[in-house]
């Protein structure tokens, strides 16, 4: 039985509406959101969220439009390579945290760890917009330095907030007591720092791997 164009359009529209509902929940009610989806099984929805976040955030990057006009094929290949880097880093980060949590006594399946990393990619839009603003003022030497300081401060504050949401969500899902959970976080960050060094030797970009030390793809 063939699928009609109307079904395809309707299904796509519903998927996008659902995506933005989840995105707004991640922004405005993150703890409530992760609590609501705690018993949602599977990797499908988080994976779709990663794909749509990457596509939409790439569409709003100013420098992509400049590069498309100059080097279309190279830019497309670069975006594909970047997406592969993001997926590899997220899966490694999620699997590392999941494995450590299991060693500390947590019994949740892998998708519980994965979906936290996946939905935190929604914050990538803010970093892209900050990058757009920096790109817009970089040719004005008078305001370049103060603008850079302001935007770097915003980046640091936003990164701190993402870390807070990350820790809160993982604490909610692991149900470990705070002393054990804090040890888990310390071990996790140490191991991901080692992964960072290994990936640097393998040729992955430093910025990409740093963005995924806590399993997020927002700094790209």
| pLDDT above 80 (res 20) | yes
**DSSP single-letter state for residue 29:** -
Strands (E), the chain: none
pLDDT at 140: 59
Tens of pLDDT, residue by residue over 77-128, are 888 888 988 888 888 889 989 999 999 999 899 999 999 999 999 999 998 8
Inter-CA distances, 172 with 101, 105, 158, Å: 12, 14, 21
Tens of pLDDT, residue by residue over 156-202, are 888 889 989 999 999 999 989 999 999 999 999 888 778 777 766 76
Q: Tokens at residue 90, please?
A: 């997220």
pLDDT at 208: 52
**Whole-angstrom distance, CA of residue 12 vs CA of residue 18:** 10
Tens of pLDDT, residue by residue over 53-67, are 999 999 998 776 766
pLDDT at 49: 96
**Residue in 207, 120, 115 with CA at minimum distance from that of residue 164:** 120
pLDDT at 142: 58
Q: Mean pLDDT across the stretch 14-29? A: 96
**Whole-angstrom distance, CA of residue 136 vs CA of residue 50:** 27
pLDDT at 127: 87
The secondary structure of 171-212 as a DSSP string is HHHH---HHHHHHHHHHHHHHHHHHHHHHHHHT--HHHHHHT
**Whole-angstrom distance, CA of residue 144 vs CA of residue 135:** 10
Q: Tokens at residue 141, please?
A: 């030497």
The gap from C-alpha 177 to its chain's centroid, in whole angstroms, comes to 26
pLDDT at 5: 80
**Whole-angstrom distance, CA of residue 211 vs CA of residue 129:** 16
């Amino acid at each position: 039985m063939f699928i009609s164009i109307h079904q395809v359009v309707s299904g796509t529209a519903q998927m996008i509406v659902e995506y933005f509902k989840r995105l707004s929940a991640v922004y405005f009610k993150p703890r409530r959101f992760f609590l609501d989806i705690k018993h949602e099984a599977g990797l499908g929805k988080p994976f779709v969220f990663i794909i749509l976040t990457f596509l939409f955030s790439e569409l709003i990057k100013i420098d992509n439009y400049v590069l498309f006009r100059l080097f279309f094929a190279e830019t497309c290949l670069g975006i594909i390579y970047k997406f592969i880097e993001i997926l590899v880093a997220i899966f490694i980060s999620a699997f590392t945290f999941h494995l450590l949590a299991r060693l500390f006594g947590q019994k949740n399946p892998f998708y519980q760890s994965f979906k936290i990393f996946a939905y935190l990619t929604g914050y990538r839009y803010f970093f892209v917009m900050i990058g757009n603003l920096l790109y817009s003022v970089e040719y004005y030497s008078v305001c370049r330095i103060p603008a850079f300081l302001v935007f770097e401060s915003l980046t640091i504050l936003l990164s701190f907030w993402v870390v807070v949401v990350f820790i809160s969500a993982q604490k909610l899902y692991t149900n470990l007591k705070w002393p054990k959970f804090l040890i888990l976080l310390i071990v996790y960050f140490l191991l991901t720092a080692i992964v960072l060094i290994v990936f640097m030797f393998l040729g992955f970009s430093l910025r990409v791997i740093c963005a995924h030390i806590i399993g997020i793809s927002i700094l790209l």
